[in-house]
């Protein structure tokens, strides 16, 4: 199994990983490490893939039913581990509890406080980003925002993410800064830089330690699943936990 991770050299008590598409048992078009149970892949194959992942984790990951919302779930001692929650971000202070976010073009964002006692994982689709998923997740942290680390995992690249004018207007109405990450095309649609959108939002909220953003799920088919490229496809996972 091939993995990526956040380059946080100083956070010795935080672990991160982001899967690529290889290393599992799913058949085409989900080949091979598809971790999504909701994409019509073989249920047994996905469970086997998740077992492969769980074997390198301190305990099984928590998954969400992701709905492109701004909903954040706090995982604490009162959390119902038997329920699949409708949300798009997870936050915890628990030790050795991996938080998982699935993507196949949307932006996974992993957050950690500088002392490693608080961690979060965000599913950053454009709808959630516009609605405030980053803001809502950061509200869970007690650490100062300038002491929080953010890693932007593999997502659709700026030359591949075409959106309508209505998407540009939603963000531009929030701040004129977003004009810099939307590029108007001859067909009157825009190429949007989802990494740039997240960077602006994080910076506006006081987060300074931001890394990642160098991949494109659409244009790197050997490495990543991409819904926009293939339609019927698998899902990667990005995870974080406090050690």
pLDDT band at 37 (very low <50, low <70, confident <90, very high): very high
pLDDT score of 36: 97
pLDDT score of 218: 98
pLDDT score of 2: 86
Correct CATH for 20-155+210-242 of 1.10.3720.10, 3.40.50.880, 3.40.50.1100, 3.60.140.10: 3.60.140.10
- Average pLDDT for the chain: 97
Residues 117-173 have pLDDT tens digits of: 999 999 999 999 999 999 999 999 999 999 999 999 999 999 999 999 999 999 999
pLDDT score of 80: 95
> Can you tell me the distance from the alpha carbon of 22 to that of 161, in angstroms, rounded to the nearest whole number?
24
Q: Is the dihedral angle over the CA atoms 19, 76, 68, 175 positive or is it negative?
A: negative
pLDDT (average), residues 25-51? 97
pLDDT score of 210: 98
pLDDT score of 1: 84
pLDDT score of 95: 98
pLDDT (average), residues 208-213? 97
Residue 204, pLDDT > 90, answer yes
pLDDT score of 241: 98
Q: Helix, strand, coil % (nearest 5) of the chain?
A: 25, 25, 50
pLDDT score of 74: 98
Query: 16: which strand partners?
Result: 240
> Can you tell me the distance from the alpha carbon of 21 to that of 33, in angstroms, rounded to the nearest whole number?
5
Q: DSSP letter at 139?
A: T
> Can you tell me the distance from the alpha carbon of 201 to that of 178, in angstroms, rounded to the nearest whole number?
9
Residues shown for the chain: 243
pLDDT score of 59: 95
């Amino acid at each position: 199994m091939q993995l990526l991770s956040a380059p946080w050299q100083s956070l010795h008590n935080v672990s991160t990983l982001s899967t690529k598409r290889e290393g599992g048992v799913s058949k085409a078009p989900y080949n091979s490490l598809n971790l999504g149970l909701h994409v019509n892949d073989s249920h047994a194959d996905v469970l086997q893939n998740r077992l492969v992942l769980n074997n390198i984790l301190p305990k099984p990951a928590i998954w969400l039913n992701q709905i492109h919302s701004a909903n954040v779930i706090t995982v604490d001692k009162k959390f119902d581990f038997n329920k699949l929650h409708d949300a798009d971000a997870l936050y915890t202070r628990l030790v050795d509890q991996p938080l998982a976010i699935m993507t196949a073009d949307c932006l996974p964002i992993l957050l950690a406080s500088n002392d490693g006692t608080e961690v979060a994982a965000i599913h950053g689709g454009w709808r959630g980003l516009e609605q405030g998923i980053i803001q809502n997740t950061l509200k869970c942290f007690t650490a100062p925002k300038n002491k929080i680390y953010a890693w932007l995992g593999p997502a659709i690249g700026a030359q591949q993410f075409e959106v309508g004018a209505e998407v540009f207007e939603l963000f531009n109405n929030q701040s004129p800064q977003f004009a810099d990450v939307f590029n108007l095309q001859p067909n009157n649609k825009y190429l949007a830089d989802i990494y740039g959108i997240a960077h602006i939002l994080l910076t506006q909220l006081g987060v300074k330690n931001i890394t990642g953003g160098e991949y494109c799920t659409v244009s790197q088919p050997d490495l990543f699943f991409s819904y926009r490229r293939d339609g019927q496809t698998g899902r990667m996972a990005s995870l974080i936990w406090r050690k």
